[in-house]
Structure formats: structure tokens, C-alpha cells
Amino acid sequence: GQQVMQIPQYQHVQEGEDFTTYCNSSTTLSNIQWYKQRPGGHPVFLIQLVKSGEVKKQKRLTFQFGEAKKNSSLHITATQTTDVGTYFCCSSSNTGKLIFGQGTTLQVKP
């Protein structure tokens, strides 16, 4: 079935360093969503990208959707301890239902 592959699985950074997680698919995606799950919490919606090459920013977070709509990235500039958590991408499957990537767990050392 359709899969969305996300890398890396884990990332440890020093506070103030940048962080990027990548989401890749072998098929064209109609859209991509990003969620954040804090430790012990539940996934919370961050953003949705729909257009080819789209770039959206939320403060220190930059989201990109590839030109071919087969990949996406989330970049955090100057990480803070509040950024700790697992970041998931997800997209609509060919049946129209949302399929999640494996997630990237970010640890930030103060």
C-alpha cells in the first residue's frame, strides 16, 4: 500500500541548533500535513500544504512541499527545549484516507 517514509527517526540537537525532518513518498501526494506530539501527549495539527513548491512559515518553523509533490520537509531554526516531541507528516492515501509517517522524535539538550 501507499507509504509515507519519514527520516530521521530520532534527532538529538543542542539548544540553538537547527533541525530538519523529511517526508518522502514514491507517489504524488495530493497534500501533506504536519503534526507535533509532545511526550505523553496527543498529535496536534501544525499545518497543511497543498500546492507544488509551497513554502509556509510559522515563527521558527518552515514547511516545504516539493515541486513534484512527492516530498516535504519541516525545518526548525534555533531549536528550543519547547520544540521537544515527535513530528509526524501525513498525507492522503489513494483511497482518500490520511496515512502517517513513522515520525521523527526530537530531543533538545539545554
Partner 1 sequence: ETGVTQTPRHLVMGMTNKKSLKCEQHLGHNAMYWYKQSAKKPLELMFVYSLEERVENNSVPSRFSPECPNSSHLFLHLHTLQPEDSALYLCASSQDPTGGNGELFFGEGSRLTVL
- Applying CB under 8 A, which residues contact partner 1? 30-31, 33, 35, 41-45, 48, 88, 90, 92, 95-103
- Cα–Cα distance, 90 to 5 (Å, whole number): 10
Q: How far is the CB of 85 from partner 1 (least distance, A)?
A: 13
Contact 47, 54 (CB under 8 A): no
Q: How far is the CB of 96 from partner 1 (least distance, A)?
A: 4
Q: How far is the CB of 33 from partner 1 (least distance, A)?
A: 7
- Cα–Cα distance, 13 to 78 (Å, whole number): 10
Q: Which is nearer to partner 1, 84 or 99 (CB)?
A: 99
Between β-strands 32-37 and 10-14, what pairing exists: parallel, antiparallel or unpaired?
unpaired
Q: Which is nearer to partner 1, 85 or 101 (CB)?
A: 101
Q: Which is nearer to partner 1, 8 or 16 (CB)?
A: 8
Q: How far is the CB of 88 from partner 1 (least distance, A)?
A: 7
Q: Which is nearer to partner 1, 40 or 110 (CB)?
A: 40
